Amino acid sequence: MDIDTLSEKIVAGDRRALSRAITLIESSRADHRDQAAQLMERLKGAGRQAIRIGLSGTPGVGKSTFIESFGKMLTGQGLRVAVLAVDPSSARSGGSILGDKTRMEELSRDPNAFIRPSPSQSHLGGVARRTREAVAVCEAAGFDVVLIETVGVGQSETVVAEMSDLFILLIAPAGGDELQGVKRGIMEIADIILINKADGDLKPAATRTCSDYSGALRLLRKRPQDPQGFPKAMMVSALERDGLQKSWEEMTALTEWRKENGHFASRREAQARYWFEQEVRQGLLAKLDTPSAREAMQSFAAKVAEGGITPTVAAQELLQGLRD
């Protein structure tokens, strides 16, 4: 199928075309990369805009339960929901989050939902590009909400926050020193913290955890992109489907406010700049990852070690050589 036809079908809502496009995006073959780049250019003009919601939390906190319940609630309201993932562990384990077919069983059968596991790639950078492009394809395909899930480890939250309009952190109720487990940096990028499992025996602990996080969020520096009361912490039960509508109302209220005040557009502009710079950096690094570049690196390194040339001059000469 040529790229024009593929693009038209995606915009017309053809799910097979959508899956096919994402497979193309995930391919590392050079000709596929070129086609994917052409496709992204075509789809750019579709002029559709979803709410992109990043969602993070440690394993076991209830991410898949939440996505299943929250996703079903949204599709029940006539919204179309896409679920994508950035999984930093997939490179190591070969498996991936969302890869397990038993997760989100109901949602995966829903005609108004589209679920795609994380691509397995060796670099977080590679996964980031593919997920970011998949987000754009889903948006062009007319999805109203794109959820981007990640496990709360390492840098993956930052990567997801850089491709989301809203960033949601899922936390489990805890006793004792609740805030210890969450890095300050993650708190700073969260727009809404959801204390999950606020049900049954866990309800009192959830209430305490929620009040602790509310307190901690109030101490953070005020951000220009936040209206009064944000970022905020609130309780939900993904299992009992409690608090989900309220959380969605908060998400839409925040999004509306940001749209009215120019912050929505400026965040996307800043993200486009960020990803452009990342692509340039990665492109330069890829130039070092060729057999001839590695050979040159070794031979310069040997000369530097022998004292025949200074590190600075050696680096300049090597980089000069790469440019040709």
Which spans of this chain sit near ligand GDP (rule: CB under 6 A)? 57, 59-65, 196-197, 199-200, 202, 237-239
Nearer CB in complex with ligand GDP: 64/75 = 64
Q: Which is nearer to ligand GDP, 137 or 171 (CB)?
A: 171
Beta carbon nearer to ligand GDP, 74 or 85: 85
Shortest Å, Cβ 151 to ligand GDP:
8
Comparison of 13 and 59: residue with beta carbon closer to ligand GDP: 59
| Neighbouring-strand partners of residue 264 | none
Find tokens 């069983």 and name the residue: 105
129 or 197: whose CB is closer to ligand GDP?
A: 197
- Cβ-contact 52, 166 below 8 angstroms: yes
Query: What is the rounded CA–CA span in Å between residue 62 and residue 239?
Result: 8
Closest chain position to ligand GDP (CB): 62
Min separation Cβ 150 and ligand GDP, Å: 10
CA 110 to each of CA 23, 232, 244, 299: distance values in angstroms, whole numbers, following the listed order: 21, 31, 18, 58
Q: Shortest Cβ distance from residue 202 to ligand GDP (Å)?
A: 6
Q: How far is the CB of 75 from ligand GDP (least distance, A)?
A: 18
Q: Closest CB to ligand GDP among 62 and 231?
A: 62
Q: How distant, in Å, are the alpha carbons of 37, 82, 87 from that of 99? A: 26, 15, 10
Tell me the closest approach of the beta carbon of residue 175 to ligand GDP, in angstroms.
Answer: 15
> Which residue type is seen at 289?
D
For residue 105, the minimal CB distance to ligand GDP (Å) is: 12
Question: Which residues on neighbouring strands pair with residue 166, listed in sequence order?
Answer: 53
DSSP element (H, E) containing 52 = strand 51-57
For residues 24 and 32, what is the distance between their CA atoms, to the nearest angstrom?
6
CA distance 79 to 71: 9
- Please, which residues bridge with residue 5 across strands? none
* 248, amino acid identity: W
